[in-house]
A and B are shown apart, each in its own frame.
Chain A
């Protein structure tokens, strides 16, 4: 019984780590290849989104948002965990560059990257709890 409880808490921790630093949940479980591959994709999407295409991150709590959908976009972006928090703290990725022709592509990369990291997080949890082999 204690082993099951320990396994569950480990699964929650790996899920949280996977959200915080994309790929870290799997690496913490010792699945280096899977962690580096999945985390690498999310990190790459962040870099491509912000610096490659000039997209921006949205704030889900922004009361001054001109479009209510921006709050939903913010929830998608929040999936990137520490990358989002670091961007929020430093201002990186929160600059609106709508004048760029690739701005919307960048936004799509950032939102999809966040959503994919939610999936990666669930994968780490499922592996930790033993639902997947």
Chain B
């Protein structure tokens, strides 16, 4: 569980900075930051699921 929480916390920090630095307007920053966050967590879960099946 702590592994997942650490990943979510790391994703939140990175997506916050990416969002602010990567886009110009506030609405674009929110959208981009949220997209990066979902991608981070989604890819992390996807990789974890893949590795679960690899012995």
Contacts and interface: CB of A to CB of B under 8 A. Distances in A.
A37 B20 contact: yes
A41 B13 contact: yes
If over half of A's interface residues share one DSSP class (helix, strand or loop), that class is named, otherwise mixed; here it is helix
Interface of B: 2-3, 6, 9-10, 13-14, 16-17, 20-21, 24
A129 interface: no
A116 B20 contact: no
Size range of the interface on A?
A: 20 to 34
A116 B14 contact: yes
Contacts of A105: 2-3, 6
Given A109-B10, A132-B24, A102 B17 contact: no
Nearest to B25: A133
Nearest to B2: A102
